Structure 1
Amino acid sequence: MFSKSRIQEPGPKKAPEAESPATPEMQTRPMNDYSSPAKAKPAASILSSDLTIVGNLKTTGDIQVEGTVEGDIRAHLLTVGEQATIRGEIVADDVVVNGRVVGRVRGLKVRLTSTARVEGDIIHKTIAIESGAHFEGSVQRQEDPLSSGGQARPGQQQAPKPQPQAPQSSPAVSQAVAAKSGAGER
């Protein structure tokens, strides 16, 4: 019985911890300090007001657009500046629109400020539209608008997919398919 209590004593376990060199360093740093270099969040990429980009942008970080983008944007947080114009689809976890967007907006959280001008559909989980915002389009709430939008895109791409498959099949099969679809319409 005495031997069990001696084995369970915390005394020997504390001695090796005190010798550990990492413990004093950790004690000097606050417990809620998340500023380790590996976990530090990079600053937002800023596209200045005199910049025009033609093409798609994709990042896992944050983007602040002050200029013009003609193309799709995919980001974690997208902020559209008051003088900015985006012509294309926006897909982001958080979207804050202060300027003009012509195209579909998909985001978990979408916010249109009083200076926003959006011409296109908005697919969101949560949305906030301030008084004075200009919006033309439809609004649809979805539990996961980022993944469902990915399903909408392949739906748009399904029309081109059969075209590449048609040359792979024989012309007789293509004509038979066309004949069947034509016969079904009559």
Structure 2
Amino acid sequence: MANGSSTFSVIGTDVVIKGDVSASADLHVDGRIEGDITCASLVQGDGSTIEGAIKADNARLAGTVKGTIEAKELVVLKTARIEGDVHYDALTIEQGAAVEGRFAHTERRVQPVAAPAQPQAKKDDGEEPRLTLAG
């Protein structure tokens, strides 16, 4: 484009990239990537292969992925073949998609399991906080 900004980048079917890919805009992959991908939005064609971790706000996967996936909004199409763990906020999977790995909602992965409620520590002026446990 004339002003130097584009809305998406395309990696064609005849392109093989060995190394990490980072894009501030949207990325459409029809080729092969052997490395990690970080982008705003990822669209993967059904004939493409990604071997590496994916981090994206939005991802629509239709090809083969071997690696972990982190996406706020993830759509796994029926042609997708995924080998790796998947972390998501919102998830859609078409019937026929194959995933070998674990699914984890982002909140559950990030936040530890809540501990039982404890009484709050009292603080006297000039003293360190103290915690008193009920017996």
Structure 1 length as normaliser, TM-score? 0.55
Q: CA deviation at 1:65?
A: 0.4
SS across alignment from 2:43: strand
Could you tell me which runs of 5 or more consecutive residues in structure 1 were left unpaired when the two chains were aligned.
1-36, 149-186
SS across alignment from 1:74: strand
- Please tell me whether the aligned partners of residues 84 and 99 of structure 1 are also in contact (alpha carbons under 8 angstroms): yes
- Decide which of 68, 85, 93 is 1:129's aligned counterpart: 93
1:1-186 mapped onto 2 (5 Å cutoff): 42-143=6-107
- Please tell me whether the aligned partners of residues 75 and 91 of structure 1 are also in contact (alpha carbons under 8 angstroms): yes
Higher-Rg member (1/2): 1
SS across alignment from 2:24: coil
Distance 1:95-1:144 versus aligned 2 partners, 3 A rule: farther
Q: Percent of pairs identical after alignment? A: 32
Distance 1:61-1:120 versus aligned 2 partners, 3 A rule: same
Please give the alpha-carbon distance, in whole angstroms, between the structure 2 residues aligned to 1:114 and 1:76. Answer: 23
Q: CA deviation at 1:96?
A: 0.5
CA RMSD of aligned residues (A): 2.1
The one-letter code of the counterpart of 1:75 is: C
Please give the alpha-carbon distance, in whole angstroms, between the structure 2 residues aligned to 1:52 and 1:122. Answer: 24
Q: CA deviation at 1:131?
A: 0.2
Structure 2 length as normaliser, TM-score? 0.75
- Please tell me whether the aligned partners of residues 117 and 133 of structure 1 are also in contact (alpha carbons under 8 angstroms): yes
Greater per-residue helix proportion: 1
Greater per-residue strand proportion: 2
Could you tell me which runs of 5 or more consecutive residues in structure 2 were left unpaired when the two chains were aligned.
111-135
The one-letter code of the counterpart of 2:103 is: V
The one-letter code of the counterpart of 2:69 is: V
Using CA pairs under 8 Å that are at least 6 residues apart, name the structure with larger relative contact order, 1 or 2.
2
Q: After the TM superposition, list the runs of 4 or more consecutive aligned residues in structure 1 that deviate by more than 2 angstroms.
A: none
What is the aligned residue count?
109
Please give the alpha-carbon distance, in whole angstroms, between the structure 1 residues aligned to 2:108 and 2:70. Answer: 10
